[in-house]
Chain A
Amino acid sequence: MSKLKTLYQSSLGKKYIMALTGLGLFAFVIIHMLGNLQIFLGPDPINSYAEFLKSKPALLWTARIGLLAIAALHITSAIQLIMINRRARPVDYSTDKIVAASFAARTIIVSGLIILMFVIYHLLHFTFGAVDPKFLRYEDYLGRHDVYRMMVEGFSNPFASAFYIVSMGLLCLHLTHGVSSTFQSLGLKSRAYVAAIDRLASISAGVIFLGNCAIPVAVLAGLVK
């Protein structure tokens, strides 16, 4: 117990929490993307995948609650760290010269916030059907929830797609700093692997961006109908 307390109270411990939860969210983003990419295989695979997930409520809800907890921890630690950091530097320099900080690193808070807003919108859009309640009522020929149709119609709205694409861009930005930072925070980034880890971060961020954006782009371009 005292170990957890030390972990939670120390600055390094908070960074571990950020890193580990970030890693969890990163894994989710990849799995989620792979699931969604099934849209390119036609309606059947993706609808049956959705049906499969729904047929295992224990698994689904564990994953949902887990994800929520992870996201909450990630956000809480972030807020706490931001507060500590603001307090640590109460006065700014009159001329602020940016030294060594990449764009992604400097904007990590902004990108994080916008991603959070996006996630809420995204959930309202496709999970709760709050944007268009009929999305949840679509059924395919087997009586399963027609996720395929929901996605196609959802992304046919250029504004929704644009927001989606912009958010994916920010997510990508968030990850280029976030992934390599995770390795650094966990002390897994040794001199020999620095370049490799940074490359891994950029490549994975790029893949996630391309993979996720492929869907709205394909829908808007009429490739997926």
Chain B
Amino acid sequence: MNLTLKVWRQKDASSSGRFVEYEARNIIEEMSFLEMLDVVNEELVAKGEDPIAFDHDCREGICGTCGIVIDGSPHGPWDATTTCQLHMRAFKSGDVITIEPWRAKAFPVIRDLIVDRSAFDRIIQAGGFISVSTGGAPDGNAIPVSKDDADMAMDAAQCIGCGACVAACKNASAMLFVSAKVSHLGLLPQGEVEQDRRVLNMVRAMDAEGFGNCTNIGSCEAVCPKEISVDFIGRMNRDYRRALLRNE
């Protein structure tokens, strides 16, 4: 199939960007979306033009590195799918595809489709962990964990930190990301101990990074490649309320 791509090109963080049109020819439906971009890039290099920069690594939907807004949808048209797992059979010949980076103040564009998501790391550094050092841990079976809690913690822990939730949210809110980590750790007895500190610190860090607020719409959940539920946001709202009442 042949496609027309409108791709956001931006040299670096301080330059302004614009859309540039490219033709993608002889694309086959077995290709992944990123492999389609590989093909376009190979042609660009052959013509002596700068290839399109985009983040990617594992190409199997788990590392969370890739992320492109495709026709207004973070990670493209398929549900529960990262950009790297989106395949070209989702498109048909003649389609015009708009390709943009994540848009959020907290995720500045570094080049073309690459954004800086280090804000997520700083939020985790503010409290997204359990304060145990190596050694001295009790036996793994010393503290039983109910299967329901463990399963729900795992539902939250599946987050790959890709940032699609922020990209989809009209307020660029990071609530789904933050609440997933707060819930994952808070649901386990091991993490419950410092849950108050954790949620207060992580929310403070989130606000400082310049993410927007949750207006309870649910776009984040709809685009999340790991289908993380907005229930976790409600859960964090509760955890924060409790922490605030009990502390400070």
Contacts and interface: CB of A to CB of B under 8 A. Distances in A.
Question: Do chains A and B make direct contact within the complex (CB under 8 angstroms)?
Answer: yes
Interface of A: 2-3, 6-7, 9-16, 81, 84-85, 87-97, 99-102, 105-106, 108, 177, 180-181, 183-191, 194
Interface string B155-179: 0000000000000111111000000
Interface string B7-22: 0000000000001000
Contacts of B203: 10-12
Interface in B79-102: 98, 100
A199 B236 CA distance: 23
Contacts of B221: 100
Contact of B231 (A88, A89, A96, A189): A189
Contact of A93 (B69, B237, B244, B245): B69
Contacts of B103: 89, 91-93
A224 B149 CA distance: 58
Contacts, number: 138
The prevalent SS among residues of B at the interface is mixed
Size category of the B interface is 35 or more
A101 B244 contact: no
A85 B215 contact: yes
B169 to A, nearest CB: 8
Contacts of B69: 93
B219 A99 contact: yes
Given A12-B240, A187-B234, A187-B239, A6 B219 contact: no
A13 B245 CA distance: 12
A96 B72 contact: yes
B211 A88 contact: yes
B235 interface: yes
B238 A99 contact: no
B106 interface: yes
A100 B222 contact: yes
Contacts of A194: 231
A202 B236 CA distance: 25
B233 to A, nearest CB: 7
Contacts of B100: 93-94
B231 A181 contact: no
B231 A97 contact: no
13 contacts: A3-B245, A9-B207, A11-B206, A11-B213, A15-B237, A85-B173, A85-B212, A89-B172, A95-B98, A100-B221, A185-B216, A187-B237, A190-B231
Contacts of B236: 12, 187
B174 to A, nearest CB: 9
A12 B238 CA distance: 10
Nearest to A182: B216
Contacts of B73: 97, 99
A14 B241 CA distance: 12
A100 B241 contact: no
B230 interface: yes
Given A11-B207, A105-B217, A188 B240 contact: no
B176 to A, nearest CB: 12
A185 B168 CA distance: 19
